Amino acid sequence: MSKTWYYRLLFSYMPVFFLMISFLFFIFFQILTERAQQDTSHIYTSVNNQILQSVEQPLKSIDHMMVTIQTRNSNSADFNMLDFFDQEGRPSAYFTYQMRKEFNNMKQLNQIIHSVYLVRDRDGYVLSSNTVSPLEQFADRAFIGGLMQDNYSYHWTNERLFKEFHASREEPVVSLARKYITSRGESGLIIVNVWVSSLDELVSQKIDQTSSYVTIAGKDDKPIFAAENNDSARRTAISTILSDYTGWTYESGLQNGSSFTILQTFSNLWIVLAVIVAILGLLAIVYMTNRNYKPLRALITKLDRISQTAGEQGGDQRNEFHYIESTVDSLVQRFNLFKSQSDMNIGYRKKSIFLEVMSGSRSLASGEWNTEMERHGFTGGFRKAAVIVISIDKYSDVLSRYREQDMILFRFIIQNMYVELVQKYGLRSWSEWMNDKEMCGFIYVQEENQNLLMDNILKLSDNALQWIRANLSFTVTFGIGQTTDSVPMLKASYKSAIEAVNYRVVLGNNRTIGYWETETGASFELYHHLEQIRSLVYAFRLMEPEWRPKYGALFEQFKQNKLKRDDIVNLLNYFTFYLFEHVHGTILNDEIVETNKEIMKDVIDQFETLEDVQEEILGIMEKLEYVIAEKAGKGGAAEIAFKMKQYIDENVYNPDLSLVHLSQQFDIPSKNVSSLFKEQFDIKFIDFLIHRRVELAKQLLQEKDDSVQEIGRSVGYLNPVSFNRVFKRIVGMTPGDYRKEKLG
């Protein structure tokens, strides 16, 4: 398919791409310029601070020196220039000489000092390094007069012109004026003049004035130090600092015409260019969008026609792409629904035919079966086949541990594993899950290897069992049905496989059970098992220790006879009814009986293997045994009845054992003995005694070679006729016949 529209879109938007890239470059340079301006501002602020320190450090040094002079002790032997304020009239030549020395020392210590002079308030005399004169003859008297008028005691002045003599040349200085008061109360001024040119040199050392400038302005914005180019229009101020010490303002910046100011000018131009590029890009996008929208409009028109044909409302969606998306989604949903329904119908038909053939509800000829197999991907027909059933063991327990979604995944895993093993052993199979816990597999071969079919099925089941044990948290049981070579006989093969799986009740689960293992379980003697159950319940009710071996023998007999699950369930239900019928009432109360009876019924309904139900019911019986024993141990009638039973067991061979004998032994009236025994064990005393003697006689007849008469005497019957009559009534045959039957 040609990509004409794709390339058309690609190349139509390419100019916009380059315009946007250019715009980004302009923005980048603008940001770079702004960052450079910020960095320059920081630099000039730092330079300004350095210049301020360079200028004010010597001024502070001079100020400190003046404070030192003021605080000097006037009583010291050293010369003190402040003594000038305590004098009157013209000072002596020696004092004038000493003062000049002090002034010269101050100049040597601070090279920026231009001159120093003192003014005495008392008589207006002025003393400098070069002259001593009254104030009215001093050339700087106007400045001094202004100080006295303003009553200033301390400050640094703006730049001013100073001359010491009327004939001298005026020179620019800044002055520190400090007022002093001596200990005698006299006052005066000390004026220190500093070269402005010296301050200019300090500033010039810190900055290159070809591209930058610095100005220092005093109070009232009067300049102290001005840039070489004094045209403010050609300067760009960057940093301004006001000094807390002098009150001067320090300003620094760039001279117009420097490379940075040119860059700054171009940054404004870049902004203009970026705006122009953005406008051009916007216009290009509008133009190309209008041009490229035409195919989209045509597509929407076609989708409108499809939607109207399908009876759907179109064209009123939020936007075109949402409309296209919703319309296409609707078409896809309709297609998927159609495909899903088609697949579902195919899958349902496939499974339905499989289930109907296996269950026998539908009969197909070989040709029809082969047609169905080919329709679902199974070609070639079959020469020999067998049906197997894979059943998940203890499914209710597995279902309680996993969600339904997990069970779907497990069924998928088991079926895939089964298909791989079928292919591994050169077999072919059609498999379906008959229900949630059982999968049925129709395994077949064509002409080759038909004699090895069963061997390969056994190998397949063994490998499958090993894999499931190693990889899944539950087990399965394989049931293998009879082999067949015709479609109608598949029903019999499936039925035998189901019966084989059901025989896991007695044969155990997590294994392979073939149809050949179930052939001996067709019939059993119901009366014999019922007699075992009654004997077991009788022993349990009387709390005889033999009830446990009898219980185990009952289940062992179930195994040996390979009873079907339904037969076992019926026998166990009878056992439940008979057990609770005989322990109900005087021995156990209604609540205990009903609760345990319901529990036992649930166990019988839900068990899967004989071992499971045997263990569960044994636990219930042991619990009941504990309750009965606890009740007997609390004393009263129950305790006396159990003691009587124990006495009978120990003296069963005594021919004198009777109600009168027990009455004398336990000091209870004979009629009370009979009623007490009947009440506690639901059996008459004489019946219990006969039962015990007959059971003992049956044991002796099998174990000893004594005559019937001797065995009768050993169990308490002195009259052989009475022994024979009682034994036949209970057992159904004479003692001699019983011995012959048991011993062969």
Yes or no: say if 632 and 642 are a contact pair by the CB < 8 Å rule: yes
- The pLDDT of residue 675 is 73
With a cut of 70, say whether residue 338 has pLDDT above it.
no
- DSSP percent split of the chain into helix, strand, coil, nearest 5: 60, 15, 25
pLDDT the model gives residue 265: 58
| β 235-242/187-195 pair status | unpaired
- Rounded to the nearest angstrom, the gap between the alpha carbon of residue 248 and the centroid of all alpha carbons in its chain is 67
Asked if 515 and 499 touch (Cβ cutoff 8 Å), the reply is yes
Smallest CA-to-CA distance from 551 within 567, 575, 521, 578 is with 575
Each domain of the chain, given as residue ranges in start order, spans 72-201, 344-518, 635-744
Give me the phi and psi of 593, to 5 degrees please. -65, -50
**For residues 352 and 587, which has the higher predicted lDDT (pLDDT)?**
352
pLDDT at 73 over 60: no
Confidence of residue 717 (pLDDT cuts 50, 70, 90): confident
Domain at 635-744, CATH class: mainly alpha
How confident is the model over 620-643, as pLDDT tens digits?
888 887 777 776 655 556 667 777
**pLDDT at res. 9:** 62
pLDDT computed for residue 480 by the predictor: 93
Q: What token pair was written down for 210?
A: 């070809």
pLDDT band with cut points at 50, 70 and 90 for residue 52: confident
Among 648, 736, 661, 738, residue whose Cα is nearest residue 693: 648
Full-model pTM: 0.46
Q: What is the pLDDT of residues 447-475, one digit of tens each?
A: 666 678 888 999 999 999 999 999 999 99
pLDDT class for 315, splitting at 50, 70, 90? very low
Tell me: the pLDDT tens digits for 186-217? 788 888 999 888 888 888 777 776 777 888 88
Distance CA 578, CA 600 (A): 13
Architecture of domain 72-201: 2-Layer Sandwich (3.30)
Task: Tell me how many helices (H) and strands (E) the chain has.
Answer: 25, 16
pLDDT at 633: 57
Q: What is the per-residue pLDDT for 522?
A: 45
Which pLDDT score, from 0 to 100, does residue 448 have? 61
Among 34-38, 218-222, 475-479, name the most confident range.
475-479
Quickly list H helices, 480-520. Answer: 490-502, 504-507
Please give the residue that has the higher pLDDT: either 153 or 28. 28
The predicted pLDDT at position 78 comes to 66
Closest CA to 574 of 536, 520, 623: 536
CATH fold group of domain 344-518: Alpha-Beta Plaits (3.30.70)
Report whether pLDDT(495) > 80.
yes
Contact criterion met (CB below 8 Å) for 106 and 116:
yes
**Residue found under tokens 């040349």:** 169
Asked if 432 and 351 count as a contact pair (C-beta separation under 8 A), the reply is yes
Chain centre to alpha carbon of residue 315: 44
Scan for tokens 């590029």, then name that residue. Answer: 277
Pick from 251-255, 337-341, 346-350, 660-664 the range whose average pLDDT is largest.
251-255
DSSP H or E stretch at residue 685: helix 685-703
Question: What does pLDDT average to over the chain?
Answer: 79
Residue carrying structure tokens 């035409």: 294
Helical (H) or strand (E) element with 378: none
- Percent of the chain surpassing pLDDT 70: 83
Nearest 5°: phi and psi at 114?
Answer: -85, -50
For residues 451 and 471, what is the distance between their CA atoms, to the nearest angstrom? Answer: 32
Query: Is the Cβ–Cβ distance between 79 and 69 less than 8 Å?
Result: no
Q: For residues 15 and 284, give the distance between their C-alpha atoms in angstroms, rounded to a whole number.
A: 8
Q: What is the pLDDT of residue 219?
A: 74
Give the model confidence (pLDDT) of 340-367 as tens digits. 665 556 667 778 888 888 877 777 777 7
How remote is the C-alpha of 741 from its chain's centroid? 74
Percent of the chain with pLDDT over 90: 8
Identity at 181, one-letter amino acid code: I
Please, are residues 169 and 136 in contact by the beta-carbon 8 Å criterion?
Answer: no
**What does the alpha-carbon distance between residue 164 and residue 664 come to, in Å, rounded to a whole number?**
160
Q: Are strands 512-514 and 476-484 parallel, antiparallel or unpaired?
A: parallel
The span from the CA of 697 to the CA of 713, in Å, is: 10
CA distances from 533 to 91, 349, 554, 649 (A): 151, 50, 7, 22
Q: What is the rounded CA–CA span in Å between residue 464 and residue 461? A: 5
pLDDT at 32: 75
Q: What is the pLDDT of residue 665?
A: 75
Crossing angle between the packed helical segments 547-561 and 565-583, to the nearest 10 degrees: 160
Cβ atoms of residues 196 and 172 within 8 Å: yes
* Continuous H helices in 13-163: 14-70, 93-109, 141-150
Give 258's pLDDT tier (boundaries 50, 70, 90). Answer: low
d(CA 389, CA 496): 10
Give the whole-angstrom CA distance, residue 142 versus residue 165: 13
Give residue-wise pLDDT tens across range 98-133: 888 888 888 888 888 988 988 888 888 888 888 888
Read off the pLDDT of each residue in 58-71 and give the average, rounded to a whole number.
82
Distances from the Cα of 145 to the Cα of 17, 84, 139, 151, 263, angstroms: 77, 19, 12, 10, 53
The DSSP annotation for 705-721 comes to ---HHHHHHHTT--SHH
User: What are the angstrom distances between the C-alpha of 534 and each of 497, 554, 559, 585?
Assistant: 35, 11, 19, 18
Q: What is the DSSP string of 411-454?
A: HHHHHHHHHHHHHHTT-EEEEEESSSSEEEEEEEE-STTGGGHH
Give yes or no for residue 657 having a pLDDT over 70. yes
Cα torsion through 738, 739, 742, 743, rounded to 10: -160
**Planar angle of CA 612, 615, 616, nearest 5 degrees:** 85
d(CA 64, CA 509): 110
Does the pLDDT value for residue 6 go beyond 70?
A: no
* More confident site: 694 or 71: 694
For the residues 54-77, what does the mean pLDDT come to?
76
CA–CA separation, 373 and 353 (whole Å): 10
Intrachain domains 72-201 and 635-744 with the same fold? no
Q: What is the mean pLDDT of residues 676-684?
A: 72
Weakest-pLDDT range from 163-172, 396-405, 425-434, 680-689:
680-689
